[in-house]
């Protein structure tokens, strides 16, 4: 499978730290695009600010690098103006659910045809290792030297409750599964959310004594299970992977186009 055609080679080597999981996410995404046979000229990737958002600089798609937390708002504008385009929005955990939390909720609620990828490394990597809304209780960070007391969001439950019509989760260890889930998300008509547990050995791993990238990926292997498995019933601390919801519902751009036609007819 040839994925180099989707990359802007002149921007390599990349800026991610050695062992960062975001490159694995990029590779899985490009394989999903190739598997579906999507025309790269019809793809628009919109990103905010953060380690995860650097993806938009490496892909040979139409790209829009925007403000921290506001990528979904910009993507909504692009999609409404050009509904025939395929919108992909890679976000970090802070980008998506701290400053961007409001936009995330309303994109889910509207069911606009956008694929949101939440790359969850449980830390603010680009700005120095501050804790994020997904860090969880007891996590050590530069802004939580004695351990965070904040409970974390469950991205899957939040997205489902807010109205997203496709919601899935995987990890950078389960790379084949991740590629399959991303392909399903891209093919889905409506708002799709894929959470990817991604390792940050530079800040999260080192600060929380989880070791290097390979050690952190072993944790993903050992502490996650397929959704609905017996293992989860026996050990509630395990994190489930897979597709949690995949349903059809009216898509926002189509509803908006219908509204415009009704307004024209009335006029």
Count of structural domains, the chain: 1
CATH of the domain at 198: 3.40.50.970
231: containing domain: 16-266
Q: For residue 190, tell me if it sits in a domain.
A: yes
83 belongs to a structural domain: yes
Residues 53-100 pLDDT 10s: 999 999 999 999 999 989 999 999 999 999 999 999 999 998 999 999
pLDDT of residue 257: 95
Residue 5 lies in a domain: no
The pair of three-digit structure tokens given for residue 262, joined into one six-digit string:
């009704």
pTM: 0.95
**Residue 196 or 4, more confident:** 196
Q: Which residue has tokens 């939040």?
A: 158
pLDDT, position 126:
86
pLDDT at 264 over 90: yes
Q: In which band, very low, low, confident or very high, does the pLDDT at 2 lie, cut at 50, 70 and 90?
A: confident
Answer yes or no: is 147 within a domain: yes
Is 8 a domain residue?
no
pLDDT tens digits for range 197-238: 999 999 999 999 999 999 999 999 999 999 999 999 999 999
In this predicted model, what pLDDT tens digit does every residue of 113-160 receive, in sequence order?
999 999 999 999 888 889 999 999 999 999 999 999 999 999 999 999
pLDDT band (50, 70, 90) for residue 1: low
Position 179 in a domain: yes
In a domain, 6, yes or no: no
Model confidence band, residue 176 (pLDDT cutoffs 50, 70, 90): very high
pLDDT at 127: 87
The mean per-residue pLDDT over the stretch 13-35 comes to: 95
Q: Taking 90 as the threshold, does the pLDDT of residue 3 lie above it?
A: no
Contact (CB, 8 A) for 166 and 243: yes
């Amino acid at each position: 499978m040839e994925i180099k055609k989707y990359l802007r080679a002149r921007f390599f080597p990349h800026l991610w730290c050695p062992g960062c999981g975001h490159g694995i996410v990029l590779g899985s995404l490009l394989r999903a695009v190739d598997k579906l046979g999507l025309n790269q000229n019809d793809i628009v990737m919109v990103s905010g600010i953060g380690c995860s958002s650097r993806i938009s600089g490496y892909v040979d798609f139409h790209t829009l690098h925007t403000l921290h937390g506001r990528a979904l708002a910009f993507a909504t504008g692009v999609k409404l103006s050009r509904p025939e385009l395929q919108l992909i929005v890679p976000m970090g955990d802070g980008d998506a659910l701290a400053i961007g939390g409001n936009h995330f909720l309303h994109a889910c609620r509207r069911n606009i045809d956008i694929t949101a990828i939440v790359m969850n490394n449980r830390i603010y990597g680009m700005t120095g290792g501050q804790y994020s809304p997904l860090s969880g209780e007891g996590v050590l960070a530069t802004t939580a030297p004695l351990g965070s007391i904040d409970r974390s969001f469950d991205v899957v439950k939040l997205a489902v409750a807010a109205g997203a019509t496709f919601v899935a989760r995987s990890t950078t260890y389960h790379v084949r599964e991740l590629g399959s889930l991303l392909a399903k998300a891209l093919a889905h008509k409506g708002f799709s959310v894929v959470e990817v547990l991604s390792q940050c050995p530079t800040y999260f791993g080192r600060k929380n004594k989880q070791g290097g990238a390979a050690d952190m990926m072993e944790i993903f292997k050992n502490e996650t299970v397929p959704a609905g498995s017996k293992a989860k019933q026996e050990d509630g601390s395990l994190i489930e992977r897979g597709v949690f919801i995949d349903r059809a519902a009216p898509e926002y751009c189509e509803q908006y186009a219908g509204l415009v036609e009704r307004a024209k007819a009335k006029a």
